[in-house]
A and B are shown apart, each in its own frame.
Chain A
Amino acid sequence: MIRKPLSSRSLRGTRRSLLKGTLAAVVGLPWLESLDVRESKAQDAIPQRFIAMFSANGTIYDQWLPEGGETDFELSPILAPLEAHKNDLVVVEGLTQQGGGGDGHQNGMGGMLTGAELLPGRFAGQGSAPAGWSEGPSVDQRIAQAISGVTTFRSLELGVQTGAADNWGRMCYAGRNQPLAPRENPRGVFDDVFGFALLDPDEQAKRTARGESILDYVRTEFEGLADEVSASDKQRLDLHLTYLRDVERRLAQQALSLDQCSLPDRPPEVDTTNDAFPDTGELMLDLLVLALACGRTNVASLQWSRSVSMVRFTWLGIDRGHHELSHLPDSDDEAQAELVRINTWYAERFAGLIDRLKRYQVEDGTLFDQSLLVWCNELGKGNIHSREKAPYVLAGSAGGALSTGRFLRYPEGTPHNNLLLSLLHTLGIEDSSFGNPDWCTGPLAGFV
């Protein structure tokens, strides 16, 4: 049951054995292995990075919770794959995920990174009035405002088979009522983030001139409409305009050279079947780290599936869907064991993310040393939709700002808003509160 962390060798083996269909185009090596240089030159100031990773449906708390004191603790079976990185972790016990509106999965998902409730709306959940998008913004977006610097992408939202566009499937919010959809196609992500830089200079110049003239036309058309439409339409148009300016800004910044890092070939196309889930995820992890390493963004997130994830972990020999399993009673030993294996699998992915970040050398260490990572879940306990005992695992010191190798225990019921606020403080963002102020009683004591 307890799984050892995968060495890169066994990781490679796992992936090779899973290559199927269109993925068979890649032979042998994981995609990123084709990189010849793993070096990212530091930018002017040493940047800080923030990464959020999500997995769904709660955990099995007693198999997740470490044992021991703040600095002398033993990792649990679920967290065992992180053993090699134990000194880089901060595991947090006792937090209650705040949220409101909609059903437990909905408001857990919407509140997880925002610390805010869902607005009234039309997404009908079970056991509650229908709810809309979150009050937002999410903590990654608050951080992006502060640390995105001159990167091409203020933030990069990536997802693996996140399903329908509704509030069960959105965790990042640019602001109130502004969900950010994750990008799901690895090849599309590669093209968006790096494609332009791979063109020859003449083609780049042509595309830039074309793009600028088109966007200039479109922007003024939107601006001209503002007086002709209703108030709510105007809100929407204003949003559209904001994002148009982002596209314009990126167009200008794409022209920056990419000589800070070297790029692999385009990743393979993946299909969207259940069994392509792990391989798609590995590619997304590669892309996420590559985007950070190449200075394309300082803030990224990876959303595995969605709340109420129905993924079937057939590659672990588990045929029933994750959500269905998560609703079985505690007395069902087989289901509990399978859920532990699922959560352990996600711990392996989190370890894989850390591994990748550590492979990139920057001036004073590795990319990982500059980073702050948080792994979160929309629920604590799946079968009762409880948001108490939410399983937060952090990693990375954000350039020495956070002391790691710790197991922090807070009184049960401590609102998770306090953690979100502490994340901001770790990154030097001295806000006094985050999310719904009623749920934020101050930064976690002794955290930073």
Chain B
Amino acid sequence: MASLIAGCTSDPPAESTRAVTDWACTDGKVSEAPSRRLTRFEYTNIVSDVFGLDDLDLERVLPRDEVALGLDNQAGALSVTDLHVDAYFKAADRVAAALLEKPDRLHQFGGCSEPDRECAKRTVEALARRLLRRSPSQREADKLLTLFENDFAADGVQEGMHRAIAALLQSPDFLYRFERASVDDDANVDDDVAPVTSSPEVLASRLSFLYWGSAPDAELFDAIERGQLSTRADLEREARRMLEDERAERGVLHFFEQWLELTDFDQVEKDRRLFTSWDDEVREQLHQETRLFLRSALWEDDARFATLLGARYSYLTPRLMDFYGLPIDSRPADEFERVDFAKGEPRFGLLTQASLLSRLAKVDQTSPIHRGKFVRERFFCTTPPPPPANIVVTAPQIDPRKTTRERFEEHRANPVCAQCHELLDPIGLAFEHYDAVGQYRADEANQPIDATGYLVDTDVDGPIDGLPDLANKLAESPEVRRCMVTQVFRYAFGRGETERDSCTIDNLAQQFAASDGDLRELLVAVTQTDPFTAPAPVPAAEDLTP
């Protein structure tokens, strides 16, 4: 795999394809990478991983991050405002105070507990390395010690430590990932093992933020010290180690939850008079079901993309089994357990989970438009064209005598509407067996459900009958695979792809296909690409706009 991806730079492509790919990645240039401000997710993860502090409620202190391209880590979109800088000041103070209340934890950093200058120095340097994700320079270490105001007696150390921790947590190299060249660039690299060119510290951060949404751990620093974070093979080794770490669940699921648009699922509401089984508990459990399913599919099962769309099992509580109309067993109502679906049960993979189905529906009715749009955007990476200006944009009203399909007929009868609804409704209508909360229905308005539809303007065009058909088509489609690769790329690099990246994305897509759609292998393969390994050229000033 490494050689396939590395082919972008080291193996010139065959003559016949050269004309096509030459501009893309044979010159070794990669796209611009603006500095990345820590997201709230990353900040809280670092505080948890480095200090073991999980209960500081930093979510309420730090502002929400901007979401662009469906992701909360897109560098260009992440703003810095008065509110952010103020929040960093407060959050740093809160973390410092909490850490000082746990002296044992603090003393671990320097391996000492004496109230003197030597111990303070060791502690501060160790803290700086973890938080700045690189070794502090002598100047930095000295400057941090000035915060102690030369008082290294007990109270002075306490106050000085508070200041040093708070100062580090507001330092530019903590709050931003600039990916500057390393202070120490003479890494020990053997020329014939395809050296990568970015500094080991930058690579360590790229790995840890990708998989864990957090700062590098001690093992990555050890690898740097041993000179073993320089080659593609080093990256692959660390990638595999890190993906098996439980922190990867947190980081990787953060991507998948955003892919499925479930981040704000706790805000999804239904008309509880129409849907009496819907309540806060069900909503919370449905969200958890999808998380547990993803975790299982990605780590316990084969991590195949097709598995996400076709697995005949899920994780359910008795409450959810009741919700789904399955026979209830005697576990406590909130205890999750893997449930294998019997043949004929209309549940298979993500598309049939009620979290997704209810998210993509209205308060009181299904929404073929939203469901179709979701498939277009998340599986085909295409944004449907706009509805025309100055028309009343409104969903047809509920009419107990008509099915949803009948009510949406106008979209296709009216040529103005049909232009774009042709791309959406016929996909969304394939979901019609699942109502606004995701429960199965055989009929609507006294008519049996017609879940037929079709795909147009894709590489798997043709008629579909219900979700099994749609899921199969999505699992087979090269366009869908490439779209998945594209979204992983955006998450990994914190930016949208440019033309210059298309060779990289092509190669990743090829590799993804060759691995039979193995998502974990895809996440490893990302580390082998030029944009991952190369030092990033500086972007132009205009790129600050999201």
A29 at the binding interface (Cβ < 8 Å): no
Per a CB cutoff under 8 Å, which of B90, B162, B180, B264 touches A228? B180
Is residue A386 contacting chain B, with contact meaning CB distance below 8 A? Answer: yes
Closest-by-CB residue of B relative to A187 is B60
In the assembled complex, how far is the CB of residue A38 from the closest CB belonging to chain B, in whole angstroms?
28
Are B35 and A231 neighbours in the complex by a CB distance under 8 Å?
A: no
B538 near A174 (CB under 8 angstroms)?
no
Starting from the known contacts A126-B386, A166-B66, A385-B389, 20 additional A-B residue pairs (CB-CB under 8 Å) come to: A128-B386, A132-B545, A214-B92, A214-B147, A214-B170, A221-B173, A225-B172, A225-B178, A230-B539, A230-B541, A232-B538, A232-B539, A236-B80, A239-B80, A240-B80, A243-B81, A250-B86, A324-B362, A384-B392, A384-B393
Cross-chain contact of B394 among A126, A225, A240, A329 (Cβ < 8 A)? A329
Say yes or no: A166 contacts B363, CB within 8 Å: no
Cα A5 to Cα B333 with chains together (Å): 47
B326 contacts chain A at the CB level, 8 A cutoff: no
A192 CB contacts on chain B under 8 angstroms: 86, 90
Contact sample, A vs B, 21 pairs, CB 8 Å cutoff: A122-B68, A122-B76, A124-B383, A127-B387, A164-B67, A165-B63, A166-B67, A192-B90, A217-B147, A217-B167, A218-B167, A228-B178, A232-B538, A232-B542, A233-B178, A240-B172, A243-B84, A274-B267, A324-B395, A327-B393, A386-B390
CA distance A278 to B269 in the complex (A): 18
Chain B residues, Cβ within 8 Å of A383: 392-394
A327 to B369, CA, bound (A): 15
B460 in contact (CB, < 8 A): no
Whether A320 and B364, one on each chain, are in contact in the complex, defined by CB atoms closer than 8 angstroms, is yes
Q: How far is the CB of A50 from chain B (nearest CB, A)?
A: 18
B104 in the interface (beta carbon within 8 A): no
Using CB atoms and an 8 Å cutoff, list the residues of chain A in contact with chain B. 103, 119-124, 126-128, 132-133, 157, 164-166, 174, 177-181, 183, 185, 188, 192, 210-211, 213-215, 217-218, 221-222, 225, 228-233, 235-237, 239-240, 243-244, 246-247, 250, 274, 312, 319-321, 324, 327-330, 332, 383-386
Which A residues touch B149, using CB under 8 A?
Answer: 213
Tell me which of A178, A215, A225 contacts B89 (CB under 8 A).
A215
- How many contacts A-B (CB < 8 Å)? 190
Contact B545 A120 (CB under 8 A): yes
Whether B269 contacts A180 by the Cβ 8 Å rule is no
Counting CB contacts under 8 A, is B3 at the interface?
no
Of all A-B residue pairs in the complex, the 7 with the closest CB atoms, nearest first, are A127-B386, A230-B538, A243-B85, A122-B68, A231-B541, A132-B545, A165-B66
Q: Any chain A CB within 8 A of the CB of B108?
A: no
How far is it, in angstroms, between the C-alpha of A327 and the C-alpha of B162 when the chains are bound? 54
Whether A180 contacts B393 in the complex (CB less than 8 A), given A165-B65, A232-B542, comes out as no
Taken together as a complex, chains A and B put the C-alpha atoms of A103 and B393 apart, in Å, by 13
> Residues of B within 8 Å of A, CB-based: how many?
74
Complex-state Cα separation, A185 to B81, whole angstroms = 17
Whether B459 is near chain A, meaning CB under 8 Å from some CB there, is no
Q: Is the CB of A229 within 8 A of B539?
A: no
In this complex, which of B64, B391, B496 has the most chain A Cβ atoms within 10 angstroms of its Cβ?
B64
A218 to B85, CA, bound (A): 11
User: In the complex where A177-B544, A217-B147, A243-B86 touch, is A384 in contact with B167 (Cβ < 8 A)?
Assistant: no
Distance in Å: Cβ of B134 to nearest Cβ of chain A: 13
B527 to chain A, nearest CB (A): 24
List chain A residues, Cβ under 8 A from B74.
Answer: 122
Q: Contact between A320 and B363 (Cβ–Cβ < 8 Å)?
A: yes
A119–B82 touching, CB < 8 Å? no
Closest chain A residue to B170 by CB distance? Answer: A218
Q: In angstroms, how far is the closest chain B Cβ from the Cβ of A264?
A: 21
**A231 touching B64, Cβ below 8 Å:** no
Determine whether the beta carbon of A165 is less than 8 Å from that of B386. no
Bound-state CA distance A164–B383 (Å) is 20
